[in-house]
Amino acid sequence: MTVSDQSEPNPKYKRIILKLSGEVLRNTEDGEPIDPNTLRAICEEVKKVYDIGVQVGLVIGGGNIFRGLSGAEMKGVDRTTGDYMGMLATVINGLALMDCLEKLGVTVRLQSAIPMDKLAEPFILRRATRHLERGRVVIFAGGTGNPYFSTDTAAALRASETGANMLMKATKVDGIYNKDPEKHADAVKYDHVPYIDALRDRLKIMDSTAFSLCMENKLPILVFSMREPGSIYRAVMGEEIGTLVD
């Protein structure tokens, strides 16, 4: 009697853009901007979906190093200059992700919206799409390349441009609540939120420009927690985790 081979995993979403906050990389104990253990844990989660053939694009923020708007307000830097500083911070984080993923055996390309050919490829949509089609993880750094736009907007833009099936936003909490669950014990979590309800109730999913772009392009957004091991894998397989906005 022979045992039949298990069928290959069949992910529900074939191409995703994963938006990571730069803050998730920070070591909360000593304040170091990039914690190597956290970095590796994130990359191992990405590798799990890479290994089953999911096409993955990553957009990383830079708030662990410098946050444009709040940094400008606190440090007296001009807003435009502060935004460019924040965009450069995303390149630093992108290089860290690329290095870690490559050490795990993942083929990676780093593209920057701000030309810096010594460090990264320039963002070219056709090239990025080809990389994804060939099974390479693409890290999109440098935001949109323009001040006054967040990395949330960059993620929504790249997801729309590349025809991603899902924009996945990793946060510190396991979905969208009617109020801050870390401050209010009676906060209620939503499993599913229509775009129109999210707009009406002013739910803090992402900034209005990013959210409007997703809504116009009918791009579903999944808000979930990176603190739960295997969450990215479960999401691409179609399990109901976090909060789905569509």
Q: What residues have CB less than 8 Å from 4, skipping those under 6 apart? A: none
Integer Cα distance of 109 and 188 in angstroms: 39
Binding residues for UMP: 62, 83, 144-151
Tokens of 155: 């993620």
Which of 207, 202, 101, 89 is CA-nearest to residue 157? 207
Question: Is residue 12 classed as helix, strand or coil in its secondary structure?
Answer: coil
Q: Is 48 exposed, middle or buried (0-12, 13-18, 19+ CB in 10 A)?
A: middle
Closest by CA to 136, choosing from 99, 102, 164, 90, is 102
Binding residues: 19-22, 62-63, 67, 83, 144-151, 171, 177, 180
The binding site for ATP comprises 19-22, 63, 67, 171, 177, 180
The dihedral over CA atoms of 14, 207, 99, 72, expressed in degrees to the nearest 10, equals 170
DSSP 137: E
Place of tokens 């295997």: 230
- Whose structure tokens read 């014990």? 185
Name the token pair of 201: 């109730």
Q: CA-CA distances (angstroms) from residue 205 to 96, 149, 216? A: 26, 16, 16
